[in-house]
Amino acid sequence: MDRTETQHLQRFADYLKFWRGVFGLSQEQLAEMVGTSTRHVTRLKNGISRSSEVLTDHIADALKLGRRDRSHLRIAAGYATNEIAQNFNGPDLKWLRSAMLRTLQALAPYPSTLTDGAGNILMVNKAWVGFYQDKVDTERLRQTVNLYNFLFNDDSDGALSEEWKDTLSLVIMVFKQHVMLNGSDQEKQTLKRILGYPSTPRDWKIRASRLEPRASFKVKIQHQEMVRGIYSVSQTVGAPDPAAYMTEPRLSINTPYPEDAALSLEKLLLNPLEHPLLFY
């Protein structure tokens, strides 16, 4: 057994020890609860054996772990999380919708969107509508409900630059690996659509493999009849831990900031602004 595998097994052993301590369980009691032998639990505790996926879920069930803690236990055991999609517009997440709406308002005058894991736009702020209404046909902007569709259908000069191709390639690579790991049917369909766009770099795999993913990137776009540099920043809304990108609802706030800090975007808010996903 090499060092990496030993560290991996020890990580799960640490989690197991932690949760036994939380609930005051002996090895014998835990073994009985999950239907395995005390000897096997001892081997798990000592980092000798790997927990199967079924046993990992049995442990989580027996301890009545919540979604966050179950996700961490599965990750520690070497398995992808097994999240159930949540309806962002359902009654249980009314508090989250309110918080996200206020967050988008507070980000003005910087254009911002709230998206889910499949790139579906859930909310926009007024600055986003104002920013793009001069670049995009009004009807197309109104019909824009998926950020990936919007990005990969961008026919501006920026879409042709090498840095923009790199950015699109990174977006695809991150999304592709998520879909392979634990993607929903909707996310698989979104990926298929992205890969079919003419603007998708044909060499996206090679490009992305040479670049490290990042939460922000710099590109050039056309704005107010000038090509301007912007920093596009993505913020994850989720668990403040390694499971953040896998915990439902997987939400992100996406905001472009002008490279020129002196460039005022206040005028974006002056004109009448409407969009089906603008809720204030």
Q: Is 51 a member of any domain? A: yes
Q: Provide the b/e sequence for 80-105 (b: ≥16 CB within 10 Å).
A: ebebeebebeeeebeebbeebeebbe
What is the C-alpha R_g of the chain? 23
Q: Does one domain contain both 118 and 44?
A: no
**For residue 276, is it within any domain?**
no
Side chain identity at 144, as an amino acid letter?
A: T
Shared domain check, 67 and 130: no
Across 96-121, average pLDDT: 94
- Nearest CA-CA partner of 22 in 91, 69, 85, 79: 69
Residue 219 is encoded by which pair of tokens? 């590109």
Q: 243 with 131, same domain?
A: yes
Q: What proportion of the chain, given as a percentage, has pLDDT over 90?
A: 46
**Do 201 and 136 fall into the same domain?**
yes
What was the pLDDT predicted at 278? Answer: 96
Q: Which of 77, 110, 142 is the last residue of a domain?
A: 77
Task: Give yes or no: residues 164 and 40 share one domain.
Answer: no
pLDDT in tens, 171-198: 899 889 888 877 788 889 999 999 998 8
Q: Give the neighbor-by-neighbor strand order of the sheet with 226-237.
A: 121-124, 113-115, 251-258, 226-237, 216-223
Strand partners, 253: 114, 235
- Tell me, yes or no, if the pTM score tops 0.85: no
The predicted pLDDT at position 160 comes to 55
Q: Is 263 exposed, middle or buried (0-12, 13-18, 19+ CB in 10 A)?
A: middle
Q: Is residue 144 part of a domain?
A: yes
> Do 57 and 185 belong to one domain?
no
Query: Contact, 275 vs 124, CB < 8 A?
Result: yes
Residue 231 sits in the same domain as residue 172:
yes
Question: What CATH number has the domain bearing residue 42?
Answer: 1.10.260.40
Q: How far apart are the first and last CA of the chain?
A: 58
Q: Are 113 and 230 contained in the same domain? A: yes
Q: Which of 19, 43, 77 is the last residue of a domain?
A: 77
Indicate the length of the chain as a whole number: 280
Most confident region among 2-6, 76-80, 178-182 by mean pLDDT: 76-80
Shared-domain flag, residues 73 and 131: no
CB 114 within 8 Å of CB 252: yes
Question: For residues 125 and 101, what is the distance between their CA atoms, to the nearest angstrom?
Answer: 8
Q: Look at residue 277 and tell me if it is in a domain.
A: no
Tally of structural domains, the chain? 2
Same domain, 10 and 124: no
Residue 12 contacts residue 77 (beta carbons within 8 Å): yes
Residue 83 within any structural domain of the chain: no
Q: Is the pLDDT of residue 218 over 60?
A: yes
Residue at 279 is within a domain: no
Residue ending a domain, among 43, 77, 111, is 77
Q: Are residues 151 and 259 in the same domain?
A: yes
Domain range for 8 is 3-77
pLDDT tens-digit series, residues 252-273: 999 989 888 888 889 888 888 9
